Amino acid sequence: GQDCNLAYIGIDVCIDLTPKLVHKHGQPTMKGYGKTWVYAYMPEPTWDKIKSYVKVGTGWNVSDEGTGIVHDPNRNLVAIEAKMHHQSEQPKPSFWVISDKVASGSGLSFSRIGSVQEVYEADEQQPSQQHMHRCVGMFAVSLDPSTKSTPVTGVEASLSFTLVSIRTWGTTDHVAPIVHSPRK
């Protein structure tokens, strides 16, 4: 089968802009991190709800393996590998920060400060700015139905998440970032 674009979805996530190990014993690890992809953390129940929406809407079960999910059962979190457009002809994901409260006090306004890649690269130059950002992430979600079918789980497919934009509420230190590539 071919990839099928499902929808855009906003998810309350933490985007990991902390530095990653570049080489391990001369071998590159986490290649392209912060430029072509990043980790996005979400609560396990949120991931389960996304999988149930896909099942109801398409009939396909979502494969955690093919999707690139990293489970952290101790904190009830999952990390997804969110792709990012990075070539010149593609729009890079926007990075928005809270600018100030609206005069009425009931709303917030956000200012775009650049792309996620620009913020990550600026963070590389200023280590004090490397953080885990708590935000609402907008993702384009696509389904790859070319994965396996088993008698137990039925027809499975993998999901692909492409980060479109984030609106950060600020940073958090309540999520420990992944520091190496768990898939190898």
Alpha carbon 20 to its chain centroid, in Å, reads 15
| Global confidence as pTM | 0.83
Sign of CA pseudo-dihedral 64, 84, 60, 74: positive
pLDDT over 90, % of the chain? 32
Find out whether 17 and 135 touch, Cβ atoms under 8 Å. no
Report DSSP state, residue 60.
Answer: P
106 versus 142: the higher-pLDDT residue is 142
Each residue's pLDDT tens digit, 8-49? 999 999 998 887 766 667 666 778 888 999 999 999 999 999
Each residue's pLDDT tens digit, 47-88? 999 999 999 988 888 888 777 788 887 888 999 999 999 887
Measure the CA–CA gap between 5 and 144, rounded to whole angstroms. Answer: 9
